[in-house]
Amino acid sequence: MTTIECQAELDIAAAGALHQQLLGALQAGEPLEIEAQAVRRVHAAVLQLFLSLVNEAQSLDLPVRWRNPSPALVESAQLLGVADQLKLDSA
Amino acid sequence: MTRSMNPSDTFRQEAADLLATLETTLLDLEETPDDRDLIDQAFRCLHTLKGSGAMFGWEALAAFTHHIETAFQKVRDGVLKASRDLVTLTLAALDHIQVLLEQPEQADRVRGDALLAAFVDLAAAASDRSSRGKSSLPASQRKPGHSANSGSERVFRIHWRPGHDVLALGGNPLLLLDELRSLGKCAVTPMTDQIPALEALDPTRCYLGWHIVLTTSADRTALDDVFIFVADQSELVIDEIPVTAETPPRLGEILVERGDVQAADVEEALSRQQRLGTLLVQSGKVSKERVASALGEQRHLHEAAKAHESAASSSTIRVPAERLDSLMDQVGELVIAQARLQQTTVNADNPLLKSIAEDIGRLAAELRDTTMGVRMLPIGTLFGQFRRVVRDLSRDLSKSVELTMAGEDTELDKTVIENLKDPLVHLIRNAIDHGIDTAEQRQAQGKPTAGRVHLSAVHSGAQVLITIEDDGRGINRVATRTKAEERGLIQPGQEVTDAELFACIFEAGFSTAASVTNISGRGVGMDVVKRTIDSLRGSIDVASVANKGTAITLKLPLTLAIIDGLLVQMENERYVVPLSAVEECVELSRQEEEHSGGRGFLNIRGEIVAFIRLRQLLGVPGAAPDIQKVVVVALGESRVGLVVDQVIGQYQTVIKSLCRLHRDLEGFSGATILGDGSVALILDIPHLIKFARERETALRTV
């Protein structure tokens, strides 16, 4: 199980670092858990990253689980219309 | 010819409606201060009031309202809270607007200015607070519809795929979608098909696109404004989808129109008759997302069409009440004329004439029902006004009182509703002032601290029962009895039933209150209540349990104008018994009458029913026929028979009130004109029976 800790401000500047972090996590080949309690703000670029992660994990048969996604994160995902695909609606 | 209304009258009426809505909204808002819909509604009412006022030349009113509107704008912006103080102040301001509306020359400028100053203070205090800890709402938490006008909702379909470098250039689609959502109802479906694998992904490039369906009252320009900074670098198509009240297009039609799929594919899929969307996706003709998006669009169109339809079907017109009254009068005359026609055809040997008379009879009855229906209003319009009464009273008396209601939809004749207001206000005031005990007393008895007053209305046959119930201390029987004896209403030592005892409280000048407050206790009011209810041909029941509460039930007829009656005859005089009271008719032969031993009881299928000889009661001369008829009427729980010579039959009765000279005659509620032009009296059953019982008692005691 690989856990990805999210920081509070997931803006476009944070996207680069998060991209690398996600790639690393994916390469470990273990089920993924994203700890998202701290997220206060999230950029569309970051949600796009998560989408790619979830798609790819799915094709690799790796389960992805959200832990305590913050309301800010869920609301942004809903606004972008991707909450369903990110499985954030049921989280 | 009835005169048409001048614009000033129109505004007055509109303003009165707005003020009533506003009052209800404010009272609701007091309970749920964070309800955005209520805040918006209050704001809209004020805004319309101001706008129409200025348009029709009510400048003082418009100027005054403007300041309150400003305060509510602050509430909408989240700067000011819809506090209890604000509601109280606004209610006071409404009273002032009412004066400005009805008697502008009597409006107290000083009071108006004081109210406005209070609004300014409240707003200033709030902006102090908010500048210290600003909490203005983001666009997403604002409700749509700043210029809300639900009548003109439009549906837009937006296809938006931002350029790849939109993120690098500082754009964030989230903010844009948030702005879009603030315009109205938004269904967002993403296009994620271009997102590459994580490794190949450039985090600063935008791979996403969206299909958006927006239902909004905003116009196209507002939409263009949202996309103004990204339009150049985006693939952007905005189409307005026409909304009609007709059936919205089907999914296939939408997909074809959007160019997502060929008409032939749809046809083919339809022929297989499974879920169209699933089929199209399975056959690879269209992506799942596109189908989901199209489905979202369909849903929007469905809802928009429904809104259109209900807007169309709920369209109303405003008609002056006098026109309805004169319509009712004319229908009444028509019913009388129809009765004459029917009477004439009975004697004429002309089948064609008879069939026409029957048609006219049917039409007249339908017209009567429709006209009466037009005059019906839900009693909720009246009940709603009492929330303010209860609120203000409980403040004045420092008693916490909760008002609950049931049966607000119950409909009653407009005239009845208008006449009911004063009696109900009296009863509610009484319930709160005398009935509801103080918080300490209530606690001592283990009751909830807050008192409860329950208003309810329910149909019961041709009557409407309106009950005012409180959970207070109940009517004090000892005090009532003492007072009644003092006033000579009851003899000392006389045995009385609860009903008889409680009837005393409706006597003029009767009060058991030790202290007179400015609310009640002066002994004025209950007699007025009784008189009003009597004049509406209604009755009052009182039930009271010590320390549990009091329930006062008003029984009122549905309408005052026309009733179905049963025509009966004695000698040459005819009378009408309201059909709603009639249970059955039986024969009474001379033997049976003699068999009953003159005691006036009849055995109907094992049940003993007392009967009253109307001949005797009404002093009809002559001898009764060998076989008389008994009309059995129901009076609450009991049944009483009325002995008459002959039952003629059912008859639509237009009630004409008795002239002033005869108005006090007990036992008759009015008169009607029969088909042959003669007059028949309408029997007032409850009073008639009461009169008969009193006579009986008097005879026995002599």
pLDDT digits (tens, 9 = 90+) for B469-523: 999 888 888 888 888 888 888 888 888 888 888 888 887 777 666 555 555 544 4
Task: Please give the mean pLDDT across all residues of chain B.
Answer: 80
B355-386: burial string, b at 16+ Cβ within 10 Å, e else: eebeebbeebeebbeebbeebbbbbbebbbeb
Mutate to test the interface with A, among B161, B201, B204 (most CBs of A within 10 A): B201
pLDDT at B657 over 80: no
Contacts of B369 (CB under 8 A, 6+ apart): none
Which of A86-90, B128-132, B158-162 bottoms out in mean pLDDT, i.e. has the lowest? Answer: B128-132
Which of B19-28, B144-153, B286-295, B540-549 bottoms out in mean pLDDT, i.e. has the lowest? Answer: B144-153
Could you tell me if B274 lies within 8 Å of chain A, comparing CB atoms?
no
Pairing of strands B646-654, B679-683: unpaired
Mutate to test the interface with B, among A2, A22, A52, A74 (most CBs of B within 10 A): A52
Residue where the block lists tokens 């042959």: B676
* Residue contact A82–B167, C-beta within 8 A: no
Residues on chain B touching A85 (C-beta within 8 angstroms)? 190, 192
Cross-chain CB nearest to A76 (options B174, B197, B203): B174
Residues on chain A touching B198 (C-beta within 8 angstroms)? 19, 22-23, 26, 49, 52-53, 56
The predicted structure's pLDDT at residue B467: 94
Cross-chain CB nearest to B167 (options A12, A18, A56): A12
Contacts of B268 (CB under 8 A, 6+ apart): none
* Confidence label for A50 from pLDDT (cuts 50, 70 and 90): very high
The predicted structure's pLDDT at residue B274: 63
Contact B265, B276 (CB under 8 A): no
Could you tell me if B164 lies within 8 Å of chain A, comparing CB atoms?
no
Which of A14-23, B263-272, B480-489 bottoms out in mean pLDDT, i.e. has the lowest? Answer: B263-272
CATH of domain B321-372: 1.10.287
The predicted structure's pLDDT at residue B552: 93
Cα-based torsion angle of the residue sequence B378, B380, B385, B387 in order, rounded to the nearest 10 degrees: 170
Please tell me the class of the A2-80 domain. Answer: alpha beta
Domain B7-137 falls in which CATH fold? Four Helix Bundle (Hemerythrin (Met), subunit A) (1.20.120)
Pairing of strands B646-654, B638-644: unpaired
The residue type at B585: C
Contact B654, B332 (CB under 8 A): yes
- Phi/psi for B183 (5° steps) reads -85, -25
The fraction of chain A above a pLDDT of 90, given in percent, is 11
* Confidence label for B285 from pLDDT (cuts 50, 70 and 90): confident
pLDDT at B597 over 90: no
pTM of the model: 0.50
Residues of A at the B interface (Cβ-Cβ below 8 Å)?
12, 15-16, 18-19, 22-23, 26, 42-49, 51-53, 55-56, 75-76, 79-82, 85
Q: Which of these CATH numbers, 3.10.20.600, 3.30.70.1110, 3.40.50.150, 3.40.228.10, describes B150-313?
A: 3.30.70.1110
Query: Where do the domains of chain B lie?
Result: 7-137, 150-313, 321-372, 377-557, 562-701
Measured distance between the N- and C-terminal CA atoms of chain A, rounded to whole angstroms:
18
Domain B377-557 falls in which CATH fold? Heat Shock Protein 90 (3.30.565)
Cross-chain CB nearest to B188 (options A12, A81, A85): A81
Q: Would you state the structure tokens that stand for residue B109, as one six-digit string? A: 């400028």
Contact B650, B663 (CB under 8 A): no
Query: Where do the domains of chain A lie?
Result: 2-80
Residue where the block lists tokens 């009557």: B463
pLDDT, tens digit (0-9, with 9 covering 90-100), for B310-327? 655 556 777 887 888 888
Q: How many CB pairs under 8 A join A and B?
A: 80
The CATH superfamily assigned to B562-701 is: SH3 Domains (2.30.30.40)
pLDDT at B246 over 70: no
* Residue contact B192–A76, C-beta within 8 A: no
Can you tell me the distance from the alpha carbon of B176 to that of A82, in angstroms, rounded to the nearest whole number? 15
* Residues β-bridged to residue B216: B154, B184
CATH topology of B7-137 equal to that of B377-557?
no
pLDDT at A91 over 60: no
What is the CB neighbour count within 10 angstroms for residue B491? 10
Residues on chain A touching B189 (C-beta within 8 angstroms)? 81
The predicted structure's pLDDT at residue B514: 53
Can you tell me the distance from the alpha carbon of B195 to that of A48, in angstroms, rounded to the nearest whole number? 8
Q: Which B positions 178-217 lie with beta carbon below 8 A of chain A? A: 178, 181, 188-190, 192, 195-199, 201, 203-204, 206-208, 210
The predicted structure's pLDDT at residue B560: 64
Q: What is the mean pLDDT of residues B52-74?
A: 82
**CA-only gyration radius of chain B, Å:** 35
Cα–Cα nearest to B212, from B158, B153, B154? B158
